[in-house]
């Protein structure tokens, strides 16, 4: 007779424990679903963020102008022009461009793909122009070797340049008759090497500046 109330009490405690366990499991389930949902949301956001950071094709490109300096000169001040049918023209300088083969990097170019005209002139070279294209992220145009001997920088090689070289012949840096304008190969002396740099181009004229 005394056992029944005890059994009823135990049964009741078990029922409460089961109900509490069930409630805890339901709560845990809700929390887990929430975490999965937040994770999914973050994953969904990531590609959009990456897309926004990446430049769109054609918005910003780079032009690399390769120039071979005359007579193996190791460096030379260089001026460059980039002409485009659409978008702004570009005019700049590199002082000095390191050689004997140097690369002028023009970047970023922001608008308009297609053909470009590129001209370069070294401090003692004739101006040279070539065509290039802006079709991809990094574009190259090779100007080849520039012709040296323009001591006075007027874009032609003539008696006026020889008249600068002649009085400085056989001089070295620091000598009273030294004239850096005639040191076409930039070796610190004015010698037969500079005359040989100038001679094949005598009477030649460089291309006109595009703007």
Give the binding site for Ca ion (CB under 5 A): 150, 152, 154, 156, 161, 183, 185, 187, 194
DSSP of 32-96, one letter per residue? Answer: HHHHHHHHHHHHHHHHHHHHHHSPPTTSSEEEEEEEEPGGG-SEEEEEEEEE-SSS--EEEEEEE
Minimum CB–partner distance for residue 96 and Ca ion (Å): 15
Q: Which is nearer to Ca ion, 73 or 119 (CB)?
A: 73
CB of 161 to Ca ion, least distance (A): 4
Task: Name which of 137 and 202 has its Cβ closer to Ca ion.
Answer: 202
Cβ 70 to Ca ion, closest distance in Å?
A: 11
CB of residue 160 vs Ca ion: minimum separation in angstroms?
Answer: 5
Torsion of CA 126, 94, 113, 86, to 10 degrees: -70
Using the minimum distance from each CB to Ca ion, give the nearer residue, 137 or 170: 170
Choose between 142 and 187: whose C-beta lies nearer to Ca ion: 187
Of the two residues 61 and 190, which places its CB atom closer to Ca ion in the complex?
Answer: 190
Rounded Cα distance, 211 and 208, in Å? 9
Q: How far is the CB of 127 from Ca ion (least distance, A)?
A: 11
Shortest CB 178 distance to Ca ion, Å: 11
Cβ distance to Ca ion smaller for residue 68 or 152:
152
- Backbone region of residue 160 per phi and psi (left: phi > 0; alpha: psi in -120 to 50; beta: other values): alpha
The DSSP bridge pattern shows strands 138-145 and 61-68 to be parallel
Q: Is 72 left (phi over 0), alpha (psi -120 to 50) or beta?
A: left
């Amino acid at each position: 007779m005394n056992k029944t109330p005890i059994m009823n009490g135990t049964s009741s405690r078990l029922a409460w424990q089961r109900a509490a366990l069930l409630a805890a499991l339901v709560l845990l389930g809700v929390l887990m679903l929430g975490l999965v949902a937040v994770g999914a949301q973050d994953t969904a956001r990531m590609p959009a963020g990456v897309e926004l950071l990446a430049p769109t094709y054609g918005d910003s490109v780079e032009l690399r102008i390769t120039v071979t300096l005359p007579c193996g000169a190791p460096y030379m001040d260089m001026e460059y022009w980039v002409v485009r049918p659409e978008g702004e023209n570009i005019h700049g300088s590199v002082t000095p461009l390191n050689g004997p083969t140097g690369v002028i990097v023009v970047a970023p170019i922001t608008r308009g793909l297609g053909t470009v005209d590129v001209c370069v002139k070294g401090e003692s070279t004739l101006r040279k122009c070539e065509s290039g294209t802006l079709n991809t992220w990094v574009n190259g145009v090779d100007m080849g070797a520039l012709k040296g001997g323009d001591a006075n920088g007027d874009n032609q090689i003539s008696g006026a340049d020889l008249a600068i070289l002649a009085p400085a012949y056989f001089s070295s840096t620091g000598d009273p008759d030294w004239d850096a304008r005639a040191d076409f190969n930039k070796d610190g002396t004015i010698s037969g090497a500079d005359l040989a740099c100038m001679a094949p181009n005598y009477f030649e004229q460089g291309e006109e500046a595009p703007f």
